[in-house]
Amino acid sequence: GIQVEQSPPDLILQEGANSTLRCNFSDSVNNLQWFHQNPWGQLINLFYIPSGTKQNGRLSATTVATERYSLLYISSSQTTDSGVYFCAVEPNTGGFKTIFGAGTRLFVKA
């Protein structure tokens, strides 16, 4: 089945710093979503981005489907950005199934 790899696995930032999180996937996908899991366990939908670039405030994402990767950019990080960031893809296999990566655990220090 499809493999979804996220890097880095862990990231510690000073407040105000910028970062780039990466998601590689091994096969073609119908869609791709980025989620932030906050300390209470909620999965917050950040971007639905099967291809192209989107921006929402300090966050932006780019997916290059032909090269099978997506990037999540966080600028001017804040302590509230801490948590785990997951990339999730729906493989182009005809079924309705979503595969999550293992996540990037981000801690932003004040």
For another protein, the closer of residues 13 and 47 by Cβ is 47
Instruction: Please report whether residue 14 would count as binding another protein according to CB under 8 A.
Output: no
Token representation of residue 28: 């073609």
Beta strands in 8-110 (DSSP E): 10-14, 19-25, 29-37, 43-48, 52-56, 59-64, 69-74, 83-91, 99-100, 104-109
Q: Which of residues 55-84 bind another protein (CB under 8 A)?
A: none
Residue 17 engages another protein in binding (rule: CB under 8 A): no
> Interface with another protein includes 2 (CB under 8 A)?
no
- 24 counts as binding another protein under rule CB under 8 A: no
Could you say which of 3, 78, 102, 107 contacts another protein (CB under 8 A)? Answer: 102
CB-based contacts of 87: which residues, under 8 Å, 6+ apart? 4, 6, 21, 23, 25, 32, 33, 34, 35, 70, 72, 100, 101
Does 33 interact with another protein (rule: CB under 8 A)?
yes
Residues touching another protein, count (CB under 8 A): 22
Q: Are 31 and 50 in contact (CB under 8 A)?
A: yes
Footprint of another protein on this chain (CB under 8 A)? Answer: 30-31, 33, 35, 41-43, 45, 48, 50, 86, 88, 90, 95-103
